[in-house]
Amino acid sequence: MTGFVRLGLVFPPALPPESIRSVAASAEAAGLDDFWVSEDCFKESAVASAVVALAATERVRVGIGLLPVPLRSVAQAAMEFATIDRLFPGRFAGGIGHGVQAWMGQAGVRAEAPLTLLREFATALRRLLDGEEVSVSGRYVVLDEVALAYPPLEPAPLLIGAAGPRSLAAAGELGTGTLLSLGLDVAAVRESTAATLATADPGHEVMASLIVATGPNARARVDSDLGSYGIPGGPDVGAAGDARAIADRMLELAAAGVTGINVQPCADEPNVRAFARFLGSEVRPLLHG
Q: How far is CA 113 from the centre of its chain?
A: 22
Report the predicted TM-score, pTM, of the whole model to 2 decimal places. 0.95
Domain boundaries defined on the chain: 6-288
Report domain 6-288's class. Answer: alpha beta
pLDDT of residue 4: 60
- Phi, psi of 267, rounded to the nearest 5 degrees: -60, -25
Residue-wise pLDDT tens digits, 177-219:
999 999 999 999 999 999 999 999 999 999 999 999 999 999 9
- Phi, psi of 251, rounded to the nearest 5 degrees: -65, -35
SS (H, E, C) the chain: CCCCCEEEEECCCCCCHHHHHHHHHHHHHCCCCEEEECCCCCCCCHHHHHHHHHHCCCCCEEEECCEEHHHCCHHHHHHHHHHHHHHCCCCEEEEEECCCHHHHHHCCCCCCCHHHHHHHHHHHHHHHHCCCCEEEECCCCEEEEECCCCCCCCCCCEEEEECCHHHHHHHHHHCCEEEECCCCCHHHHHHHHHHHHCCCCCCCEEEEEEEEECCCCHHHHHHHHHHHCCCCCCCCCCEECCHHHHHHHHHHHHHCCCCEEEEEECCCCCCHHHHHHHHHHHHHHHHHC
Q: pLDDT tens string for the chain (289 positions)?
A: 344 679 999 999 889 999 999 999 999 999 999 999 999 999 999 999 999 999 999 999 999 999 999 999 999 999 999 999 999 999 999 999 999 999 999 999 999 999 999 999 999 999 999 999 999 999 999 999 999 999 999 999 999 999 999 999 999 999 999 999 999 999 999 999 999 999 999 999 999 999 999 999 999 999 999 999 999 999 999 999 999 999 999 999 999 999 999 999 999 999 999 999 999 999 999 998 6
